[in-house]
Structure 1
């Protein structure tokens, strides 16, 4: 894609005014840092309690409410959570949604797409293949595509989470976000620019932003591992890459074992049933990749909870 002007904080504020109460103001939960091997204060942003089960509802609703008058429906490609969110947002607005997803995606997510009334199109291959099929359908049917992570409206909508955090945890020193395509990272980093640093983290088996920063440009590569259905795009988004580059970001890579352990901790200790991708920020703290110093307050975004199984 050709990247145009990046969203600003004002664009995120306009997105928040647009979506209004259509999305939930999700709660935060403080946990004992000592339980995590951290010296400071740790706060969880429970975005898994959002409509459709993930932060993706924010960008999806902002897209739907930005459509021109008379639009009858939307199309989307997704490994799961974005498809669920688009199905929900379209149904809320009385629109038809056609969602293209890998046939191998988490069954619980595919089921939820249909549960919201969308037409599900299973595709052989990965998210990239689903996006190709979605674009072909869009060109044929004249249906607008809601991109999962790399358009102005999606990034601005995702950024509304950052505005909430600034109000809920005004003393935050850092926000940690799992990065897949990077829409949430890009949006929250934009919303909190000059206010709170935002730290992207990735699984070792989905290191798209990490590798892009090393290469100087987004790089197409495969994804695998427990979090790949949510954090395994064909490549990092141009928005996330541009923002991370401008901020000199570094991206810690989290092991599979650490992700599984963090997900188990969330369920066993605080009864938060996060999906693997949403457990990556906690895994980064528990494994010491993102240290939390004495006197520091760090917010971890628990981004989704569309699970297939218990930990």
Structure 2
């Protein structure tokens, strides 16, 4: 399946209602970076943020979601759909991911009372392993690299009959992610533009599908050296790209999902690339000015409407930036 419909997002919203935290949408507060803080991102000192009362800037605080990211939505939709359709196996669900997707999968499985097996390389940080186990997941440490853990996960699916989940490349995962937009629109019904960061494209595919249905523009923001969607748009098909960015821990997909490329075909979608310096500056701005501690992937979205090469909103345009996650260390804020 390479197409996602708004009906899929609506169905996901009904399916996960009451099982995830509704997103809070806040009007961004005015204020520019003090001079002492401008060295965290040159672009932010060169062109400080305008007063959001004039620009109509909002933040969707999705980093407050269960497990710390939007991934909880797709994981819930994926598992609940299979349970409802009677296609959930006794062996449970499995995924190869020590990141946000693995955490969301383990959490959603615990909430549904079903088993989850998560594969990680032996080099995975103990804090991630401990958190996964705290959700009740069986954690299997295989090999030294992610590819080895992923191969072991595939073997487990073949031998056990477990249901294979994915971080982003599945219509149920993308549809679940897109439900964040339906919640945003209820709070800002005259929204003009939504801004999301893009890795493999699950969040983007879901949000852009819903936004396009409502005539709302979507800005898809990627690090300039993690440009899986941008390269796919350019090539007309998903292609492999290098991964090298401060945000690559969350946005470092080597190839965008076909679902994302299909959603990017709308005239209401704009692809934007930003530098690591702009991402770091945006993250510092969110902390210094708003006391919001988010991961670099979330800051990438904000960088997409500020600085060189960014989308420039028109006067009076209402823009909502999705701050997608906060699984980050605080030492470098």
Normalised by the size of structure 1, how large is the TM-score?
A: 0.91
Identify the residue that residue 82 of structure 1 maps to in structure 2.
101
Is structure 2 residue 138 aligned with structure 1 residue 119? yes
Q: Deviation of residue 104 (structure 1)?
A: 5.5
Q: Deviation of residue 112 (structure 1)?
A: 2.4
The 1:240–1:126 alpha-carbon spacing in structure 2 relative to 1, beyond 3 Å, is farther
Please give the alpha-carbon distance, in whole angstroms, between the structure 2 residues aligned to 1:5 and 1:201: 21
Q: Please give the secondary structure, in 2, of the residue aligned with 1:170.
A: coil
Please give the alpha-carbon distance, in whole angstroms, between the structure 2 residues aligned to 1:205 and 1:164: 31
Identify the residue that residue 46 of structure 1 maps to in structure 2.
61
Q: Cα deviation per residue 1:263-300 (whole Å; 9 max; x = unaligned)?
A: 11111211111011111011122325121222111110
Q: Please give the secondary structure, in 1, of the residue aligned with 2:319.
A: strand
Q: Cα deviation per residue 1:110-149 (whole Å; 9 max; x = unaligned)?
A: 4422221212234556655543332222112110011111
The 1:245–1:260 alpha-carbon spacing in structure 2 relative to 1, beyond 3 Å, is same
Give the CA RMSD over aligned residues. Answer: 2.1
Q: Cα deviation per residue 1:79-125 (whole Å; 9 max; x = unaligned)?
A: 50000100100011111111124556666544422221212234556
Identify the residue that residue 8 of structure 2 maps to in structure 1.
11
Is structure 2 residue 318 aligned with structure 1 residue 297? yes
Identify the residue that residue 78 of structure 2 maps to in structure 1.
63
Identify the residue that residue 133 of structure 1 maps to in structure 2.
152
Identify the residue that residue 208 of structure 1 maps to in structure 2.
228
Please give the alpha-carbon distance, in whole angstroms, between the structure 2 residues aligned to 1:237 and 1:63: 17
Please give the alpha-carbon distance, in whole angstroms, between the structure 1 residues aligned to 2:288 and 2:193: 25
The 1:150–1:75 alpha-carbon spacing in structure 2 relative to 1, beyond 3 Å, is same
The 1:248–1:49 alpha-carbon spacing in structure 2 relative to 1, beyond 3 Å, is closer
Q: Please give the secondary structure, in 2, of the residue aligned with 1:272.
A: coil
Q: Deviation of residue 170 (structure 1)?
A: 1.2
Please give the alpha-carbon distance, in whole angstroms, between the structure 2 residues aligned to 1:128 and 1:103: 12
Q: Is the Cα contact below 8 Å between 2:60 and 2:321 reproduced in 1?
A: yes
Note the 1:103-118 alignment, pairs <5 A. Answer: 108-118=127-137
Identify the match of residue 25 of structure 2 among 25, 28, 44. Answer: 28
Is structure 2 residue 268 aligned with structure 1 residue 256? no
Q: Is the Cα contact below 8 Å between 1:79 and 1:127 reproduced in 2?
A: no
Q: Deviation of residue 243 (structure 1)?
A: 1.4
Please give the alpha-carbon distance, in whole angstroms, between the structure 2 residues aligned to 1:181 and 1:148: 8
Instruction: Work out which of the two has the higher radius of gyration on C-alpha atoms and give 1 or 2.
Output: 2
What stretches of structure 1 move > 6 A for 4+ residues in a row?
none
Please give the alpha-carbon distance, in whole angstroms, between the structure 2 residues aligned to 1:278 and 1:122: 28
Q: Please give the secondary structure, in 2, of the residue aligned with 1:291.
A: coil
Please give the alpha-carbon distance, in whole angstroms, between the structure 1 residues aligned to 2:18 and 2:297: 26
Instruction: Report which stretch shifted further, 301-310 or 28-37.
Output: 28-37
How many residues of Structure 1 are paired with residues of Structure 2 in the alignment? 308
Identify the residue that residue 255 of structure 2 maps to in structure 1.
235
